[in-house]
Homo-oligomer: A and B are copies of this chain.
Amino acid sequence: MNTRVQLTHEVILERETVESLNPTQRRIHQAAFRLFAEKGTSQVNVLDLAQEAGVARGTIYSNIDNMESLFETVASHLAREMHERVNKSFDSLSDPAQRLANGIRFFIRRAHEDSKWGAFIHKFAMSNSSLREMFSSQATTDLLSGLSSGRYTFAQEQLLSVLTLISSSVLGSIFLVLEGHKTWRESGSDTAELVLRALGVPQEEARALATTELPALPSID
């Protein structure tokens, strides 16, 4: 029972029937999220999961198929949730450069505020397709509109390289914050500024865009 949702730039994410999760399943999924973030997929076993969820081992088996699909569900749920909240926040912003700067900083701030979330993203953003799509669908639209409005100065053929630069530096920055080597403010502003400069935004302007007051992430519904 899945419905398909068309996103801004020909990227498709599956909408899971999250609503159909009963309380027990929700606890299991939340526990799984924490464990995956801490230990990585291959290190999470059923017993740990049961204990973390405060549930008996048998309950796990009667509520999930296997670890793999559980992980997939958790990851795509995460991707969808973040994607929607960021998009919602973008409703009030038209400047693609400002949106990009804010997007970058949203991710980095959230990794700071919820280190489990940050760890999860950092571990799986490259290997999981839902998360990868979240990153690229988020940025592609704004990159293209920024290009055509002359705000960015890179070649169309470099789009994929630019996308990769953006997502990987966000991940690197999240890592920096998680390890405590930088505050999220510094790391977020620095990364946003550097990325904008790479795209052709003049230094002073890039700095300004990267250091505005960052609004709170809207919640969904």
Contact B182 A161 (CB under 8 A): yes
Bound form: Cα–Cα A167–B191 in Å: 13
Copies per complex of this chain? 2
**Other than the known A161-B190, A161-B191, A165-B169, what 4 A-B pairs have Cβ atoms closer than 8 Å?**
A160-B182, A164-B187, A164-B191, A197-B197
Which of the 9-residue segments A50-58, A142-150, A171-179 touches chain B? Answer: A171-179
Q: Name A residues whose Cβ lies closer than 8 Å to a Cβ of B.
A: 40, 42-43, 126, 153-154, 157-158, 160-162, 164-165, 167-169, 171-173, 175-176, 181-182, 186-187, 190-191, 193-195, 197-200, 203
A161 in complex: contacting residue of B154, B168, B186, CB < 8 Å: B186
The interface residues of chain B lying within 8 Å CB-to-CB of A158 are: 190, 193-194
The interface residues of chain B lying within 8 Å CB-to-CB of A186 are: 157, 161
Interface of A is mostly: helix
Minimum Cβ distance to chain B for residue A68 (Å): 14
Contact B195 A198 (CB under 8 A): yes
Contact B198 A194 (CB under 8 A): yes
Contact B200 A200 (CB under 8 A): no
The interface residues of chain B lying within 8 Å CB-to-CB of A200 are: 197, 203
Contact A162 B126 (CB under 8 A): no
Give 9 nearest A-B pairs by CB, closest first. Answer: A168-B172, A161-B190, A198-B198, A164-B172, A168-B168, A194-B198, A165-B169, A197-B198, A158-B190
Bound form: Cα–Cα A195–B169 in Å: 11
Minimum Cβ distance to chain B for residue A187 (Å): 6
Bound form: Cα–Cα A155–B151 in Å: 23
The interface residues of chain B lying within 8 Å CB-to-CB of A194 are: 154, 158, 161-162, 165, 198-199
* CB closest chain-B residue, reference A159: B190
The interface residues of chain B lying within 8 Å CB-to-CB of A172 are: 126, 164-165, 167-169
Query: Could you list some 30 contacts between A and B, CB below 8 A?
Result: A40-B42, A126-B172, A126-B175, A154-B194, A158-B193, A160-B176, A160-B181, A160-B182, A161-B176, A161-B186, A161-B187, A161-B190, A161-B194, A162-B194, A164-B172, A164-B187, A164-B191, A165-B165, A165-B169, A165-B173, A165-B191, A165-B194, A168-B169, A168-B171, A168-B175, A169-B169, A194-B198, A194-B199, A197-B199, A200-B203
